[in-house]
Structures are given as C-alpha cells and as structure tokens.
Structure 1
Amino acid sequence: MEISIDSKQLTDWLTMLGTAYYQCEYCQGLHIVRVKDQNEIDDAKIELIDDILYYRITVEVKQSAIASLIADLSLINASSPILKVFLELQDEGNAKFVIMHTISCGEGLSLKQFILFMQQFEEQALQLVSELKQCDVLIDAALPNSTALSSSQTYH
C-alpha cells in the first residue's frame, strides 16, 4: 500500500526499522547514524524536497585526487543506474564527493519501496566508498587531525 510521504512518515518508518537518525539545526535532513559513523563518511542523510526523496552520502577527498575523480565521474555515473555522483568544490575546506539516490514519491511510497530504496543505495554507495578508500583518495573523517570541517560548518 502506497502512503503519502512527509517527514513524519519518514521518521516513523526509520524508527520502525530500528534505524537511528537525528535532525541537525542546519538542514531538514534526517542524518543516518549507522552510515555516518563509518570512518570515511562525512555525512549521510535522507531528505524530502518537493515530493522527491533524496538519500545522500558525502565523503571528503584529498585535493590531489580531484582531477582524477573529475575524469572518472562519467564512468562512475554510467556504471550504476542507481547512483548519481558529483564533486562539490568549496572555497574553504575539502572537496566533497557526493553519492546520491532519489525516488519520486509524489504519488506515494510503500514501506517495501522505502526499504528497497535504502538497501540498494547503501549497498552500492558503501561499495563505491570502499573502492575510493582502496584508491587512497579519501580523507578519514574520524581522524582527529583531519582538516575536515566540524559538523556545524559542514555544507548541508
């Protein structure tokens, strides 16, 4: 059964699934704790904007890796019908590699569709993060001497 989606429905489903999340003061997204707590992950959040559900994972990349990642973006995007990837370059702080998945839910969404949306994205996105880690292009967000921005400065 498809249900009209709003942030209350999302929080109900996440709670029912035992998925820990929090909402920060800087955005309307629901930050997914189990994904965000992985060392390489800078942020992981689900956000509903104009009847489109976005699931977004960001990792910080080394400055020396930006050119090669830009060159590989088309290949990475073509390799998965689910993942959309791009780089966010900022004047201050590290570049962010963004991995995203979206689903239109203007006509409603079932719990099974929501679970599949999350599972497929997490599986493929975390595999990509693992591959990026093996290529030594990521900055470990958990390192105390990392140049990573604090969560209050992170772009949302």
Structure 2
Amino acid sequence: MRWLNAGYIEHYVCENCHGIHFSELQALDGMLESRLFVEHEGSILTSEIEVRPTALLAIMADLTRLNMNYPSLKIFVDIVDDNLPRLIVADYLHTQAGIDQAQFLWIVQHALIATQQLLLEIAELGFLMLEDEPEKPFVAVH
C-alpha cells in the first residue's frame, strides 16, 4: 500500500474481501469492482465490468480479439445465475523472486490503463450495462 501511495494511485482496503480497491477505476460507468489481492507468491489485479445480456454473444465472439489487443490482461466472461453477465479482466504479477517499487508501479499502472482502455472500447461497442438505463429482461431464444 505504501508503493501505491508513492505512485499516487488512489485506493482503499475493503473490509469484506480484504482486497485493495482502486477508487479511480471503480468510479467509471460500467465498472463494478477493481481490486488488487496480494498473495504469497504474487498479486492479482481483477476488474469486473457489467455487460448487457443482449451483447453476450457479440462479446463471446470478440474475446479472442480483445485478448490479443490487450496482451497483458486475461479477459473472460463470467455468468452467474441471477446476476447480469460480467467481463472479468485480470492481470497476475509474480512476486516470489522479488520486485522493486518502480517495477510494481509500472505494472500496476499499465494494467489500470489497459483496463480503462478496454472499458472505453466496450462502451463504444455498446456492450456496457450502464447504471442509468433500466434493466431489460433477458429472453432466451430457442
């Protein structure tokens, strides 16, 4: 957390998940959560973007291209029973062999910028489920 402070990356610790949440990224429309989990052998940065159910097929078709355009990120779709579909964006940082502050900040800042660019691209494509629009029921086509 000292390194995040040194890099002027706004964050807070969540009492529920014990993750370090990134305030600036979470404030963006469509972003549900963006956080860093520090583990024994590494750190994982994950973000969750809520997407329209009607865009699910198009997003699934576009996943390969998105993963190629953002090579440092792992992008996949998560669908859980009663929730709207989410695009999960992750970056993993191996730290067991050691890392210095400059390396850590560069990697985290790069991941945050790439995630923000991905969010903007998803919004331009019309895939985001924005807060100010009403939820439309999802109708399965057989």
> 3-state DSSP class of the match of 1:59?
strand
1:76-134 Cα distance to aligned partner (Å, 9 max, x none): 11223201100110101111101111110001111111111112112211111101101
Paired residue type of 1:54: I
Paired residue type of 1:103: L
Is the Cα contact below 8 Å between 1:21 and 1:30 reproduced in 2?
yes
Paired residue type of 2:33: D
Specify which of 18, 30, 39 is matched with residue 29 of structure 2: 39
Gaps of 5+ in 1: 1-10, 148-156
Is the Cα contact below 8 Å between 2:41 and 2:96 reproduced in 1?
yes
* Alignment map for 1:131-146 (pairs within 5 Å): 131-141=121-131, 143=132
CA change 1:18–1:79 in 2 (3 A) is closer
Q: Where do 4+ consecutive residues of structure 1 move more than 3 Å?
A: none
Over the matched positions of the two proteins, sequence identity in percent amounts to 21
Matched, 1:26 2:16: yes
Paired residue type of 1:44: S
- Give the length in aligned residue pairs: 135
Q: Could you say what the CA RMSD is over the residues aligned between the two structures, in angstroms?
A: 1.6
* Corresponding position of 2:88: 98
TM-score, structure 1 normalization: 0.79
* Corresponding position of 1:127: 117
Give distance in 2, aligned partners of 1:100 and 1:146.
Answer: 28
Is the Cα contact below 8 Å between 1:139 and 1:146 reproduced in 2?
no
Paired residue type of 1:80: Y
* Corresponding position of 1:67: 57
* Corresponding position of 1:5: none
TM-score, structure 2 normalization: 0.86
Gaps of 5+ in 2: 136-142
